[in-house]
Amino acid sequence: MYTSVCKHCFKVFKTKFRTLSCNDCRSKDSDHFDDIESYLKVFPNSNALQISEALGITAYEVLKFVEEGRLHVTKGYFEQIED
C-alpha cells in the first residue's frame, strides 16, 4: 500500500497502485490527462508551463503526471509515450 497525496484536492489517501489522484478526483484526472495527450499531439515538445497555460491545468499537476510515469520529459520537454 502507498500513502499518496491527491494532486487535485490534496487529500491523503491509501492506494494499491502508484497514483496521485484520489477516487473522488479520478474522472477529473483522466479528463486532464486526455487534454494533455491531445495537446501534445498537436504541440509536441511543449513544456509544463506551456501545457499549463494552454489547458488551464496547473504546472504542478502536469509534473505529477510525470511522477506517475504517465508522461515523459526529455531535456525539460514532454514527450508522448510510444504505444
Residues that bind Zn ion (CB under 5 A): 6, 8-9, 11, 22, 24-25
In the complex, least distance from residue 44 CB atom to Zn ion, rounded to whole angstroms: 29
Counting Cα atoms < 13 Å in the Cβ hemisphere of 78 gives: 28
Complex with Zn ion: residue 17 or 83, whichever CB lies closer: 17
Complex with Zn ion: residue 8 or 70, whichever CB lies closer: 8
Complex with Zn ion: residue 28 or 50, whichever CB lies closer: 28
Which candidate, 35, 38, 5, places its Cα nearest to that of 20?
A: 5
